[in-house]
Structure 1
């Protein structure tokens, strides 16, 4: 239905454009050529939409080139939905029910939507239609993905979608972007994916613009200070909408790679100026100069972006490297936490000792150490004596078997009985000593 409706709209507008064009006299050949070019573009994109599956499968390279040149405004809604496969999503049927529910993020969303495209006519005013539908979409998403809920920055992406399509369709596209375009990982509370993107971007900066990288470091100008918003809002808070939308067109087809490319292109364009500035100067430059450099020529930015060296395999390796670093940091944090807990317990024991409790006084501790050492020594001596007596018993038993004389037998039996008695006493004494050592050890602990 979406394709049919768009196709009918396209044919209707094509017809009106042709009819109106036939009744007008061109003021110049240049304007006539431009009109024909626009009409050709219109017809071409109409064909792409109606033959979408074929273009995606058989004409992918040409489609990519056309998207990089910019999707015509009238076709953006349908093409964006087709690019992310959001034209027939089951979640669309849940949308109206989600709006009837309450979300724990509502207050936060209400606070932020007033700061989303505040100068755009669609979103101006507290009771504007734009703010209301933006609230609806953000609230609905916070309910279908409670782990993410709502994150600042995401409203700019939804706001752009709402400029192109109805709220139900914008909701479906946003869900798909979160699921399939790494945005969900970017907007999770931990923002781990943002850390990865910054890590990867820093590698590109160090490799391709080493002089600028050194200058940034010397000024403590962190990558996150200027690049975080690039990844979180896809340049929607950096460039005016006509330029940002061109970047978004490419993002819808090629993903986050375009953010790395455009970011590096910006730094390449401005390296000579940036290395002359201190931290404050660079902050002002990023806020006031860079955003408007390509207002009249976004094609120049896009062209430069695709001249940036970008190795997908290397970026994948960096992802694994970053994951290993984070795992190691996590292990270190666990060990640090364990050591801190152990240290806290030791401090508590020291404080108890320092309070002067007689049981744990320094004199008592010294006494325990001495007594424990002496008890262990006595235990060792007793074990030695016991072993010696056991050896004598064995020796006498051998002698008894060799001396059959009756007097000798009686004498040896008496000696054996005496030794057995002494052995029993030694065992008893050893048991008592072992218990004493145990008690002392427990007291020491």
Structure 2
């Protein structure tokens, strides 16, 4: 048999239809939304290869969805082989043959099952003239892949590969059962809209899809233990081993694929078999009793209805595609606007950062200048202190010298007085005078003059001492004032350093917060405060 590589290069009369459907297949999915991307390219190859491979049926609308689901789980050659197996061995191809005769048999079986299990809903559909082909066509032809969420479709394909095409009846009845209350309240148009729009939206949540699959397996058309086993399968990759595929040569790829993945026989249940016989008998009676012209008219009317329905579905798909593209365009515009805003904020933040660095540099220069001013003031104060200390020491030395001088003068005067006294006492005449007259009485004038001179000298010394004490007090006062000024300058320096550091932290924190808001990154920690001695 031919493989995918040799089939997709051949010409196909359905290339235009395939190309149009490719762009409508999961347009919002990341793998398929890119025009000309890997997803659309692989999907085009598979659909075109099948149209060449199956010359009788060819490509049918909706097959692209099934092929896309397979592509999400396996390489394109494996996906093509699995698609061929589903179409041929699982009986999906039969639904397209003989003017969709087998598909109408499925519709009849579904309506009979609905009449048996949900009679009130069946009667409501009969009152509305709502037939199964009006809402269940895509269920059978695309295996629920065209409308329903992928999380639900994956479960359905798993069950299909394990149990065969009859699982569609289980899922269909589960959908009708869970939507019974809504459908009973709807009219004809409302019911069609419910099947087309609202029903698929219900199962976007994976939990809802899982519950639906459990309910489908509990319907007594399949053996419950088989369904439970199916639900435990990991994915649609069941029965396919990638290691086996890597060892298959290109020329016998499809033959080996069929050999390793042969499904177990699909045996219809008794009820489905019974309903199929009823439908065949009914069709035979209709063909025998019906006039050929009436039959052709009915077939024509049915085909027209099918064509209108397909056109409506086509319009819905086109509308969904346009809506998705518009939504994507809006999202892209919003993302671009947001990117522009973020770029502007980033530029502003960079400008703020530059301004902050300039401000930091300026403050550092001011700090350096203040440090230099403080250093000079301290040196000046130190010089004043040294000068004052030297003056004080000099004054103390002068005072000491004056005291020593005064003591020496007093001692010299006393010695001179003693010498004069001894000389006077040595003279006999003077001694007699002293003995007669008593103690020597110096002339009042000379004694007063001497006392006056001594008092003046003492006053002069006291005056100099007072002046020195006054200078010493002033020097001490200047020293105290200098110390106070130094303390005040130190205090101002500390306050300025605190203000500078606070300003640095404030600017830095604001800048980092702006960067964090704009770029979503964590801001670096603020720089450590400068040391006092710097």
Normalised-by-shorter TM-score class: 0.5 to 0.7
Please give the per-residue CA displacement for 1:142-197, whole angstroms capped at 9, x wherever unaligned: 11211101111111111111111111111111111111111111233612221111
| Alignment-derived partner of residue 221 in structure 2 | 310
Coordinate RMSD, CA, aligned: 2.3
Distance 1:99 1:161 in 2: 17
Q: 1:246-325 to 2 correspondence within 5 Å?
A: 246-294=155-203, 295-297=205-207, 298-310=209-221, 312-325=269-282
SS at match of 2:144: coil
Say whether 1:114 aligns with 2:23.
yes
Task: Answer yes or no: is the 8 Å Cα contact 2:125–2:131 preserved in 1.
Answer: yes
1:337 offset after TM fit, Å? 8.2
| Alignment-derived partner of residue 87 in structure 1 | none
| Alignment-derived partner of residue 142 in structure 2 | 233
Distance 2:117 2:296 in 1: 42
| Alignment-derived partner of residue 91 in structure 2 | 182
| Alignment-derived partner of residue 100 in structure 1 | 9
1:293 offset after TM fit, Å? 2.5
Distance 2:57 2:101 in 1: 12
Say whether 1:224 aligns with 2:181.
no
SS at match of 1:127: coil
1:245 offset after TM fit, Å? 0.7
SS at match of 2:186: coil
1:314 offset after TM fit, Å? 1.6
Distance 1:155 1:186 in 2: 16
Distance 1:214 1:337, change over 3 A: closer
Distance 2:78 2:206 in 1: 31
Please give the per-residue CA displacement for 1:245-267, whole angstroms capped at 9, x wherever unaligned: 11111111111222111111111
1:287 offset after TM fit, Å? 2.7
Task: Answer yes or no: is the 8 Å Cα contact 1:196–1:319 preserved in 2.
Answer: yes
Q: 1:58-73 to 2 correspondence within 5 Å?
A: none
Distance 2:287 2:162 in 1: 35
Q: 1:1-150 to 2 correspondence within 5 Å?
A: 91=1, 93-150=2-59
Distance 2:170 2:86 in 1: 19
Stretches of structure 1 that go unaligned for 5 or more consecutive residues are 1-90, 341-445
Distance 1:105 1:330, change over 3 A: farther
Distance 2:9 2:145 in 1: 30
SS at match of 1:121: coil
Distance 1:330 1:105, change over 3 A: farther
Task: Answer yes or no: is the 8 Å Cα contact 1:113–1:155 preserved in 2.
Answer: yes
SS at match of 1:306: helix
Distance 1:103 1:338 in 2: 33
Distance 1:155 1:258 in 2: 21
Distance 2:287 2:150 in 1: 40
Distance 1:237 1:138 in 2: 15
Stretches of structure 2 that go unaligned for 5 or more consecutive residues are 223-268, 298-534
1:333 offset after TM fit, Å? 5.6
1:212 offset after TM fit, Å? 0.7
| Alignment-derived partner of residue 462 in structure 2 | none
Please give the per-residue CA displacement for 1:227-274, whole angstroms capped at 9, x wherever unaligned: 111111111123210111111111111112221111111111121221
Distance 1:320 1:189 in 2: 17
Please give the per-residue CA displacement for 1:266-320, whole angstroms capped at 9, x wherever unaligned: 1111212211111122222223332133323122111111222328112112212
Say whether 1:211 aligns with 2:211.
no
Task: Answer yes or no: is the 8 Å Cα contact 2:8–2:52 preserved in 1.
Answer: no
Task: Answer yes or no: is the 8 Å Cα contact 2:15–2:48 preserved in 1.
Answer: yes
Distance 1:111 1:333 in 2: 40
Distance 1:225 1:105, change over 3 A: same
1:104 offset after TM fit, Å? 1.2
Distance 1:291 1:335 in 2: 40
Task: Answer yes or no: is the 8 Å Cα contact 1:148–1:189 preserved in 2.
Answer: no
The higher relative CO (CA closer than 8 Å, separation ≥ 6) is in: 2
User: Number of residue pairs matched?
Assistant: 249
Distance 1:155 1:187, change over 3 A: farther
Distance 2:10 2:287 in 1: 38
Distance 1:263 1:313 in 2: 18
**TM-score, normalized by length of structure 1?**
0.53
| Alignment-derived partner of residue 3 in structure 1 | none
